[in-house]
Amino acid sequence: MSKVIESLDTTASRIPKHFHPVTKIFFDNIFAGKFRSLENEEIGQIVEAYFTAEPLIPLPVDKEQNLRSDITKLYEDYNERVKYRALGDRKVVYVTDSSRYDSTRPFREWEYPLFITGKLASRVQRKDHLPFLSPQAKAILLTDPKIWLDARVVTEVDGLAQTNSLCPWGTRNLIDPLGHSYYRNKDDLKKLLETTREAQKKNPTDEIAILDIGGSNGLAANELEQMEGHSSVTNLTREPQLSVFPLRGGHLLGLAERLPQQFSRSFDVVLSRTAFTYMRYPHIALINALYTLKVGGVMDISFDWRKSTPGKDGQLEMLDREVPLVFDWLDGVRQEGIVRYLSGHNIKRVKELNRVYPPDGRIQLLVEKPLDLTMLDRMPRV
């Protein structure tokens, strides 16, 4: 760690508290204009933190090793990401008028802020007399979640301007009639929340604990807490986002395939949109999510294994073999009256939809009786 600069109190305090200490220093270096690649030993420390908690459902050794490799690759990529290297330059200019400064800008009806870096920043600074960002100013701007959602980073690569988004594609709002969201209207969500309140005999003022799997920087979760004042949403995500929306339930870095044991029967609602597309073992994540629910809890997730990480690696055969085993087990649990599929959503339909392209499955169910881990013994090994 000798290469690491000392943390600046005014910038380090703005980095999300759930970050690993090594990751905090990585971003603090970016604020200070001294980008430094993560070393292998540091990446190892970060990866280990994903696997320290006792798992809710133990993983086979080979699958856990594959997940370790995935997280290792994630943080190795941090060293090569253009946006982080660019923002780690001492010369960064911030502007709000993208139409004037972004030559790569596609036609849009709205403006978005820009972080202009390197040689391009020097030109803008000379031409328009705009100041280079101080470490403190950079920290304030980059940890503003509204700026993080919309801003682009502009840098010069091989003599050409290149633009990169700060926030990953797929970060979505809670409600959007056009569909790029968790729900098209509030009624669908309110009905789901009413279902769990009724099943648990809760009053409208009783708090509901919600787990959002793969909620990016907590945009939808924050909107849900604002809409449902008596809710606490925990956002679980595998990749840290430098700027996050405040949540009563907090943010947690982790893997949906390996949820912590402390999550057992802890949530009234589990939500997820598109995140299962990016999982190596979405069927194992599905089982984990189910076991986080209390009796009377509801699950509403989009489930798609045909476009998952193993599919991209040529391992689709494994999923085609193992996912039906999980679905058959879940259907057996349903027949015993332990879970109930909610109207319009069932496992058979999900299986049918995932046989065609593009797959579009939705699993929405209610837990009616306690789930015991011994029930997993009836399932063939996955």
Please tell me the distance from the alpha carbon of residue 6 to that of residue 143, in angstroms, as a whole number.
19
Residue recorded with tokens 């879940």 = 330
Q: Is the pLDDT confidence value at 97 over 80?
A: no
* 64-71 contact pairs (CB < 8 A, 24+): 64/258, 66/280, 67/255, 67/257, 67/258, 67/280, 67/281, 70/280, 70/309, 71/46, 71/47, 71/238, 71/255
pLDDT at 163: 87
- Give percent of the chain above pLDDT 70: 87
**The amino acid at 322:** E
Instruction: State pLDDT tens for residues 174-191.
Output: 999 887 899 999 999 999
Collapse the DSSP code of 272 into the 3-class scheme (helix H, G, I; strand E, B; otherwise coil) and give the result: strand
Collapse the DSSP code of 329 into the 3-class scheme (helix H, G, I; strand E, B; otherwise coil) and give the result: helix
Q: What is the mean pLDDT of residues 183-200?
A: 95
Q: What is the mean pLDDT of residues 10-19?
A: 80
Lowest mean pLDDT among 4-8, 108-112, 185-189: 4-8
Summary mean pLDDT of the chain: 88
Q: How far is CA 84 from its chain centroid?
A: 19
Please tell me the distance from the alpha carbon of residue 222 to that of residue 232, in angstroms, as a whole number.
9
Where do runs of H (alpha helix) occur along the chain? 9-12, 21-31, 40-49, 61-78, 82-87, 98-101, 118-128, 135-142, 145-150, 186-199, 219-227, 282-291, 309-312, 316-335, 347-353
Domain boundaries, the chain: 1-37+79-166, 173-378
pLDDT at 278: 86
* Under 8 Å between Cβ of 295 and 196: no
Topology given in CATH for the domain delimited by 173-378? Rossmann fold (3.40.50)
Residue recorded with tokens 């798609």 = 304
pLDDT at 7: 43
Provide the token pair at 4.
């690491």
Please tell me the distance from the alpha carbon of residue 204 to that of residue 103, in angstroms, as a whole number.
51
Q: Which residue has better confidence, 342 or 225?
A: 225
pLDDT at 357: 38
What is the band of 5 on the pLDDT scale with cuts at 50, 70, 90? very low
What is the band of 103 on the pLDDT scale with cuts at 50, 70, 90? low
